């Protein structure tokens, strides 16, 4: 008997009890669908985290002003301005491991064009900012040193803001935008960058020169910068040394005694990224193991029904043996029934899982990554479950004594 004939025999037997076969396969269907849906969503989340950190650059440090929390009831980082424009200059010029440094001051503001208005976060910064974040202008230019020196009333818009204020197709360059009532000229529109790691729209932004920001939009106390400084190290490997240099420099400049707390805090984006990635990994493997357990439960269902089926069909087994079926052929018959059940269940489960993943991702706005290797592994695993759990019932059938089987009522 060839494999094709055995498969046909299996299909026929399964069709004979169609509802039961479907209910048995349902365990595998749900298991595989769960695997596909959960792993696709888990992988999607992982990929998004990876992509957004890759876009931000892994050699980024964020220097936050403010005292540490360790000395009792003090404000959090960023609550007190402790960084100055001179600190910024020192960091960007004096340190060997630092490639560039830029302030990242922010204020929420209503932007108005002739026709539209749009609330967004306005950044006050320097040209280095664009270098650090690797943000480039799609049209026009980014900010220049002379914009900073002269306190020019110019603005670079993110793609979303440009679209909201001037429409999808209109030219924003050269137009006037009022920010807190002050007219700014649009000199550049940034390339579209998409969502950030925490789901924010990176394109919903507007950038103005630091000097203009401080004088027109968000006046600061003296020389203090009311916001963090972004620092990029010369390379990914140089990040820890750059962090050390910045710490030493600022402690010296702020005259902090040995043993006293920093009045600033440095965040290492690579660390944040790897922590987030680890989180996504854990989520992924947690989802995968839940899904694997449900597959296993499906396998037990198959074993259960196959055992019932072998007992019910004892007489059939006796008849087949009497006319010449070898133990191996009987084994193959029942094993292939279990395998067919689980593989068909697996295939239906793949379809259902992809559908569910797409529905969930559309409904909740979750990112999605359907990997063909996951589909392949899930299907192969369901086949393995079928063989694994079908083996015992099939062995039981093949070991029957023909006479006893024929006498079975």
- Smaller CB distance to other proteins: residue 7 or 224? 7
Rounded to whole angstroms, how far apart are CA atoms 325 and 346? 30
Over the Cα atoms of the chain, what is R_g? Answer: 33
- Smaller CB distance to other proteins: residue 185 or 311? 311
CB of 4 to other proteins, least distance (A): 9
- Residue span binding other proteins (CB under 8 A) among the ranges 164-172, 181-189, 312-320, 345-353: 312-320
CB of 400 to other proteins, least distance (A): 10
Rounded to whole angstroms, how far apart are CA atoms 288 and 298? 15
Rounded to whole angstroms, how far apart are CA atoms 122 and 179? 9
326 near other proteins (CB under 8 A): yes
320 near other proteins (CB under 8 A): yes
1 near other proteins (CB under 8 A): yes
- Smaller CB distance to other proteins: residue 3 or 72? 3
CB of 387 to other proteins, least distance (A): 21
Contact 53, 225 (CB under 8 A): no
406 near other proteins (CB under 8 A): yes
Rounded to whole angstroms, how far apart are CA atoms 235 and 97? 8
What strands lie across the sheet with 60-65, from one edge to the other? 98-103, 229-233, 60-65, 264-268
CB of 33 to other proteins, least distance (A): 32
How are the residues of the chain apportioned to helix, strand and coil, as percentages rounded to the nearest 5? Answer: 55, 15, 25
Q: Which of residues 9-28 bind other proteins (CB under 8 A)?
A: 16
2 near other proteins (CB under 8 A): yes
- Smaller CB distance to other proteins: residue 279 or 327? 327
CB of 385 to other proteins, least distance (A): 28
CB of 305 to other proteins, least distance (A): 18
- Smaller CB distance to other proteins: residue 120 or 340? 340
Among 222, 257, 323, 363, the residue binding other proteins under the rule CB under 8 A is: 323
Q: Which residues contact 354 (CB under 8 A, 6 or more apart)?
A: 36, 37, 40, 370, 375
- Residue span binding other proteins (CB under 8 A) among the ranges 171-179, 244-252, 300-308, 322-330: 322-330
Among 175, 329, 351, 408, the residue binding other proteins under the rule CB under 8 A is: 329
Among 75, 328, 362, 376, the residue binding other proteins under the rule CB under 8 A is: 328
Tokens of 15: 């069709």
Tokens of 46: 């992982």
- Residue span binding other proteins (CB under 8 A) among the ranges 222-230, 237-245, 296-304, 325-333: 325-333
Task: With CB under 8 A as the rule, give the number of residues binding other proteins.
Answer: 21
| Burial readout 248-261 (b: 16 or more C-beta within 10 A, e: otherwise) | ebbbeeeeeeeeee
- Smaller CB distance to other proteins: residue 123 or 396? 396
- Residue span binding other proteins (CB under 8 A) among the ranges 256-264, 311-319, 339-347, 348-356: 311-319
Three-state SS for 65-122 is: ECCCHHHCCCCCCCCCCCCEHHHHHHHHHHCCCEEEEEECEEEEEEEECCCCEEEEEE
Longest CA span, the chain? 104
Binding to other proteins by CB under 8 A, coded x per residue (else -) over 364-403, reads: --------------------------------------xx
Rounded to whole angstroms, how far apart are CA atoms 159 and 189? 6
Rounded to whole angstroms, how far apart are CA atoms 76 and 258? 22
Rounded to a whole number of angstroms, the distance between the first and last alpha carbons of the chain is 28
Among 191, 327, 362, 380, the residue binding other proteins under the rule CB under 8 A is: 327
CB 359: neighbour CB atoms within 10 A?
11
Q: How many residues does the chain have?
A: 409
Using CB under 8 A, list all residues that contact other proteins: 1-2, 5, 16, 315-316, 318-329, 402-403, 406
């Amino acid at each position: 008997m060839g494999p094709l004939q055995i498969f046909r025999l299996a299909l026929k037997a399964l069709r004979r009890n169609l509802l039961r076969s479907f209910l048995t396969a349902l365990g595998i269907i749900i298991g595989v669908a769960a695997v596909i849906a959960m792993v696709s969503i888990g992988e999607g989340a992982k990929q998004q985290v990876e992509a957004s950190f890759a876009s931000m650059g892994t050699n980024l440090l964020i220097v936050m002003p403010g005292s540490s929390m360790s000395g009792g009831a003090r404000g959090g980082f960023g609550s007190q301005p402790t960084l100055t424009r001179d600190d910024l200059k020192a960091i960007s010029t004096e340190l060997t491991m630092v490639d560039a440094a830029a302030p990242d001051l922010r204020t929420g503001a209503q932007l108005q064009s002739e026709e539209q208005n749009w609330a967004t976060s306005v950044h006050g910064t320097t040209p280095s900012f664009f270098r650090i974040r690797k943000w480039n202008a799609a049209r026009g230019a980014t900010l220049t040193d002379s914009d900073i020196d002269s306190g020019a009333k110019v603005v670079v818009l993110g793609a979303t803001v440009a679209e909201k204020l001037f429409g999808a197709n209109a030219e924003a360059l050269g137009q006037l935008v009022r920010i807190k009532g002050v007219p700014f000229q649009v000199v550049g529109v940034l390339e579209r960058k998409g969502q950030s790691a925490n789901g924010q729209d990176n394109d919903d932004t507007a950038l103005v020169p630091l000097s203009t920001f401080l004088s027109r939009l968000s006046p600061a106390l003296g020389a203090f910068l009311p916001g963090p400084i972004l620092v990029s190290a010369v390379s990914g490997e140089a990040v820890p040394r750059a962090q050390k240099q910045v710490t030493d420099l600022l402690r010296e400049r702020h005259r902090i005694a040995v043993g006293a707390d920093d009045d600033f805090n440095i965040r290492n984006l690579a660390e944040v990224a790897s922590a987030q990635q680890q989180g996504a990994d854990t989520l992924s493997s947690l989802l995968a193991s839940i899904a694997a357990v449900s597959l296993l439960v499906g396998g037990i269902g198959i074993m259960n029904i196959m055992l019932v089926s072998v007992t019910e069909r004892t007489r059939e087994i006796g008849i087949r043996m009497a006319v010449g079926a070898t133990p191996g052929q009987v084994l193959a018959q029942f094993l292939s029934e279990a395998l067919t059940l689980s593989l068909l269940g697996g295939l239906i489960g793949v379809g259902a899982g992809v559908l569910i993943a797409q529905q969930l991702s559309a409904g909740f706005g979750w990112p999605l990554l359907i990997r063909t290797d996951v589909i392949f592994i899930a299907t192969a695993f369901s086949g393995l479950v079928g063989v694994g759990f079908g083996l015992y019932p099939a062995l039981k059938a093949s070991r029957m004594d023909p006479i006893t089987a024929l006498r079975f009522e």
